[in-house]
């Protein structure tokens, strides 16, 4: 509307969202005082309105909106300063502390929806920390065991993909593909003909329909050859039967060697050594060629030391050892005692 002529000439009908007539002198004075605008006490309303129009050009739009709302309140109007404080308080962002990074963030920095339908807590993990938590779990956790950072509830496949962006997955060594692959593999791995590829750095797998009749499984992704029958890299130049025969022969040889070792060797009883000592011939007084520990071949009793056989005599042998004093003939016992006495004197 065009300005009215006369004493209100040059003053628009609408000032700060309210009709000019709605303003009383005391209202205008209160507004001017808030912004430190000096004006004559008891001045004409038209003069105050001119000052108000000039003020409108300099204050923020948010302040104009608050003044407009204040002017629309029921009379008598509340104090402008209190109304401003209340209005600004309403517009202050809600601050929440993230339980992970402990940063004080605005509510908009937190997920607005629950991560799972069964989560019974508020979202107190900021969106950034939530993404990092899920990314870390994708790399180290089975796909169906990923949990909410705030509780043990399991997160669905779709929820995970909605939280973590494709760009974030790329930064994490293409985790998106890996995660999708995990979910697919978990679905197929219980099928009897499904076999994982054993190729280096290949996480693929496939159904091998021909089973043992044609045991070579060639990966559709990396072309690595896996033996379906033995679940190992393909044994080149050997059929499965030849491989089984060779493996049996090798296992028989290893078993025979182990038996021979058990019969002809014993571990050095020195706790710091443990070498397999072999007794070819001679008496049962053994000396480990590695650590030089001396012991009885039959009962492992040590020869040296204050309680060894050289000092204590044959009573230092184990009670069930044939060399123990109680198990020797009378003459042999006497000789053993003399031998021990000589060593004690030495």
Whether residue 263 is contained in a domain is answered as: no
Task: Give the model's confidence band at 284: pLDDT under 50 very low, under 70 low, under 90 confident, else very high.
Answer: very high
State the total domains in the chain: 4
Structural domain of residue 220, as residue ranges?
189-233
Same domain, 147 and 160: yes
3-class DSSP state of 215? coil
Say whether pLDDT at 138 is over 90: no
3-class DSSP state of 115? coil
Same domain, 12 and 83: yes
Same domain, 200 and 179: no
Cα–Cα distance measured from residue 23 to residue 148, given in angstroms and rounded to the nearest whole number: 56
- What residues contact 140, with CB distance under 8 A and at least 6 apart? none
Say whether pLDDT at 162 is over 80: no
The string of pLDDT tens digits covering residues 44-66 is: 888 888 888 899 998 888 888 88
Whether residue 150 is contained in a domain is answered as: yes
Which single residue is written with the structure tokens 């025979």? 256
- What residues contact 337, with CB distance under 8 A and at least 6 apart? 313, 314, 325
Whether residue 194 is contained in a domain is answered as: yes
Say whether pLDDT at 148 is over 90: yes
Whether residue 311 is contained in a domain is answered as: yes
Say whether pLDDT at 176 is over 60: no
Residues constituting the chain: 346
Domain containing residue 121: CATH number: 3.30.40
Cα–Cα distance measured from residue 29 to residue 51, given in angstroms and rounded to the nearest whole number: 10
Contact 224, 213 (CB under 8 A): no
Whether residue 257 is contained in a domain is answered as: no
Same domain, 225 and 172: no
Same domain, 25 and 67: yes
Same domain, 79 and 140: no
Report the pLDDT averaged over residues 153-164: 82
Whether residue 247 is contained in a domain is answered as: no
- Strand residue runs (E) in the chain: 14-15, 18-19, 95-97, 104-106, 194-196, 205-207, 216-218, 225-227, 232-233, 265-267, 276-278, 285-287, 294-296
Instruction: Quote the mean pLDDT of the chain.
Output: 82
Query: What Cα–Cα distance (Å) separates residue 134 from each residue in 122, 152, 236?
Result: 18, 13, 42
Q: Which helix (H) or strand (E) holds 181?
A: helix 175-188
């Amino acid at each position: 509307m065009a300005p009215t002529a006369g004493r209100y000439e040059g003053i628009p009908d609408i000032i700060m969202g309210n009709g000019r007539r709605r303003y009383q002198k005391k209202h205008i004075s209160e507004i001017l005082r808030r912004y430190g605008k000096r004006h004559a006490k008891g001045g004409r309303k038209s003069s105050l309105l001119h000052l108000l129009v000039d003020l409108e050009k300099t204050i923020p739009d948010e302040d104009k909106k608050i003044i407009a709302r204040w002017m629309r309140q029921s009379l008598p109007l509340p104090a402008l300063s209190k109304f401003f404080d209340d209005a600004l308080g309403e517009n202050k962002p809600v601050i929440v502390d993230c339980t992970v990074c402990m940063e004080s963030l605005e509510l908009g920095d937190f997920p607005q929806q629950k991560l799972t339908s069964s989560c019974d807590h508020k979202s107190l993990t900021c969106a950034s920390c939530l993404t990092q938590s899920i990314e870390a779990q994708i790399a180290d956790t089975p796909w169906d065991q990923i949990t909410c950072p705030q509780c043990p509830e399991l997160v669905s496949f779709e929820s995970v993909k909605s939280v973590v962006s494709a760009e974030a997955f790329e930064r994490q060594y293409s985790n998106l593909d890996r995660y999708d692959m995990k979910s697919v593999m978990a679905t197929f791995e219980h099928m009897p003909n499904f076999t994982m590829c054993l190729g280096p750095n290949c996480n693929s797998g496939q159904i091998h329909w021909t089973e043992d009749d044609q045991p070579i499984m060639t990966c559709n992704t990396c072309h690595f050859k896996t033996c379906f029958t033995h679940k190992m890299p393909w044994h080149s130049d050997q059929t499965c039967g030849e491989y089984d025969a060779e493996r049996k022969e090798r296992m028989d040889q290893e078993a025979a060697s182990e038996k021979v070792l058990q019969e002809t060797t014993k571990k050095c009883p020195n706790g710091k050594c443990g070498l397999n000592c072999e007794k070819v011939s001679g008496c049962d007084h053994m000396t480990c060629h590695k650590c030089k520990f001396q012991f009885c071949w039959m009962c492992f009793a040590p020869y040296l030391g204050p309680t060894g056989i050289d000092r204590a005599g044959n009573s230092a042998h184990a009670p069930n050892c044939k060399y123990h004093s109680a198990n020797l003939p009378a003459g042999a016992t006497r000789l053993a005692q003399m031998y021990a006495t000589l060593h004690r004197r030495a």
